[in-house]
Chains A and B, each alone.
Chain A
Amino acid sequence: KQEVTQIPAALSVPEGENLVLNCSFTDSAIYNLQWFRQDPGKGLTSLLLIQSSQREQTSGRLNASLDKSSGRSTLYIAASQPGDSATYLCAVHGSEKLVFGKGTKLTVNP
């Protein structure tokens, strides 16, 4: 059974810092991995999707990497801003099902 773990559970940083969110998964037989953003009480916004054959994806200040063999992914956020404050969810797609981690709650302080 696939299990997804995200560390840390919560993170508070001053504005302008570069930061890394971590995601690990137990079963490396995956199709892809998706990073989502969720604002309080809202739905999920897809940030980046990495196919199993890819190593990384970039979108603006966001960079996600995937090391399938070790079961790890990282989301790198450059020059963080208060508007980046949200919960970031990692989801692994394998065996036709999307399995989510519990998320990392990020607070960027002005």
Chain B
Amino acid sequence: ETGVTQTPRHLVMGMTNKKSLKCEQHLGHNAMYWYKQSAKKPLELMFVYSLEERVENNSVPSRFSPECPNSSHLFLHLHTLQPEDSALYLCASSQERDSALGQFFGPGTRLTVL
């Protein structure tokens, strides 16, 4: 596998479920990101990890819980979500947190909350 991969690609869950999104990057990067893309809104940055340490949390509700066990893997744990959390969740990575080489994105997980 190359680049940034995300699983699952599609997820449907009820409001009481607990699920996790997984992201893996094969680029040797040190920074990883979670973004949310809702219909007709710009991509919103949720979390930033640099060298496995969370360096930014953009006022995201606690029902979203990120985890970065190593520099190649990033998880987003979901619990007690709301229907308005339905969106495309994108993972990205970059060489460093403020890399001049830009960010590389995964294909995303399409989440539907019923």
Enumerate chain A interface residues (CB-CB to B < 8 A).
Answer: 4, 31-32, 34, 36, 41-46, 49, 51, 89, 91, 93, 96-103
Contact = CB atoms under 8 A, between A and B. Distances in A.
Nearest to A46: B102
Interface string B1-40: 0001010000000000000000000000000010000001
A47 to B, nearest CB: 10
A44 B90 contact: yes
A48 to B, nearest CB: 9
Nearest to A43: B107
Contact of A93 (B42, B98, B107, B110): B98
B103 to A, nearest CB: 6
Nearest to A42: B107
Nearest to A102: B42
B98 A31 contact: yes
A4 to B, nearest CB: 7
B102 A43 contact: no
A20 B102 CA distance: 22
Interface string B76-114: 000000000000101010000110111111111010000
Interface of B: 4, 6, 33, 40-43, 45, 48, 56, 88, 90, 92, 97-98, 100-108, 110
Contacts of A43: 4, 6, 90, 105-108
A32 B43 contact: no
Contacts of B43: 89, 91, 100
A34 B103 CA distance: 9
A90 to B, nearest CB: 10
A93 B40 contact: no
Nearest to B42: A100
Contacts of B97: 96
B42 A32 contact: no
Nearest to B94: A98
Nearest to B91: A43
